[in-house]
């Protein structure tokens, strides 16, 4: 059974940094995609960053390029998201997600099967 558990959210002032971490267990696919998504109140869940099969390829939403970095540490089975230069518009619930066998690498939520419970990020101005 695949389980994803996020941690590292919190409150920070604009310009600050946070690092989110996702502990992954029970995942056995060799060809996979993992990603971070976020959802603000009243808005659709959107893809923030994704990584394909061990870091060979990454993808970012335009709104976070140059500020956020996704990384994976296989030895610890974790997926991290380093968020720098945070803005109030980054405020949202952030979710870790993983695909089943990954045939289409994208930031679309429909490409992902497994989801964590989320961790709240609040950025104040």
86, 12 Cβ separation under 8 angstroms = yes
What string of pLDDT tens digits covers the 125 residues of the chain? 899 999 999 999 999 999 999 999 998 887 889 999 999 999 999 999 999 976 679 999 999 999 999 998 877 689 999 999 999 999 999 999 999 888 888 999 999 999 999 999 999 99
Residues, the chain? 125
What's the rounded Cα separation, in Å, for the pair 27 and 11?
30
* pLDDT for position 105: 87
Distance CA 56, CA 95 (A): 22
Residue 43, pLDDT score: 96
């Amino acid at each position: 059974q695949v389980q994803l558990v996020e941690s590292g959210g919190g409150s920070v002032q604009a310009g600050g940094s946070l690092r989110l971490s996702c502990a992954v267990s029970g995942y056995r696919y060799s060809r996979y995609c993992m990603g971070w998504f976020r959802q603000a109140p009243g808005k659709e869940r959107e893809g923030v960053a994704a990584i394909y099969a061990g870091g060979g390829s990454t993808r970012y939403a335009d709104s976070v390029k140059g500020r956020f970095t996704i990384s994976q540490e296989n030895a610890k089975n974790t997926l991290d998201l380093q968020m720098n230069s945070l803005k109030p518009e980054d405020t949202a619930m952030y979710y870790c997600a993983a695909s089943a066998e990954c045939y289409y690498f994208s930031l679309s939520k429909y490409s992902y099967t497994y989801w964590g419970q989320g961790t709240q990020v609040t950025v104040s101005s």
